[in-house]
Chain A
Amino acid sequence: IAGITQAPTSQILAAGRRMTLRCTQDMRHNAMYWYRQDLGLGLRLIHYSNTAGTTGKGEVPDGYSVSRANTDDFPLTLASAVPSQTSVYFCASDSFTEAFFGQGTRLTVV
């Protein structure tokens, strides 16, 4: 089934630890995004990639890094997690006609 797969679906992480959220799509979309969703703030863009090999910063990039080694995968890394990074993270891609979202990763940093 075509779509976006995120892993893990949820995680409790100790502050200071490194964590990579995985995102894979099988639709060959060039554009991929990482968003965080927080109560009262809606969805905010962390990083994006227009095509394999390129990435860009979104609205809230601090504390996060991404890579885009190929078209299908777009991992998001928290180098040293802090409690303010507790959120629900969504990976997305689009084709200029429709946007697709993963099921989300609920991350709690304690």
Chain B
Amino acid sequence: KNEVEQSPQNLTAQEGEFITINCSYSVGISALHWLQQHPGGGIVSLFMLSSGKKKHGRLIATINIQEKHSSLHITASHPRDSAVYICAVGDYGGSQGNLIFGKGTKLSVKP
């Protein structure tokens, strides 16, 4: 069983729709990252969360430590949001090399 599970694997939406991507993990963590990767492109960090909720523009990330679950929401989605979204969890109490990644959610937003 993967330690970080994302759902859905693939998601197609119409422009303007509200989008939710989920991440569940089975290990103890200090922080959770949401990353964005455009086709053929580099990886950009969107959020790093250890509790609660963060908002940046149209993006909102939440985490429930007790339930070991995080969600990434995109409001008023746009074709430029089309990318792979990756959840990663880390334990910074020990080695900093302990980031574990989900397989990613491929989002396609149609105009």
Contact = CB atoms under 8 A, between A and B. Distances in A.
B45 A45 contact: no
A95 B45 CA distance: 12
Contacts of A56: 95, 97
Nearest to B92: A96
B96 A50 contact: yes
Interface size class on chain B is: 20 to 34
Interface in B83-109: 86, 88, 92, 95-97, 99, 101-104
Interface of B: 31, 33, 35, 41-45, 48, 86, 88, 92, 95-97, 99, 101-104
16 contacts: A31-B96, A31-B97, A33-B97, A40-B103, A42-B103, A44-B101, A48-B95, A48-B96, A50-B95, A56-B97, A90-B42, A98-B45, A99-B99, A100-B45, A103-B42, A104-B43
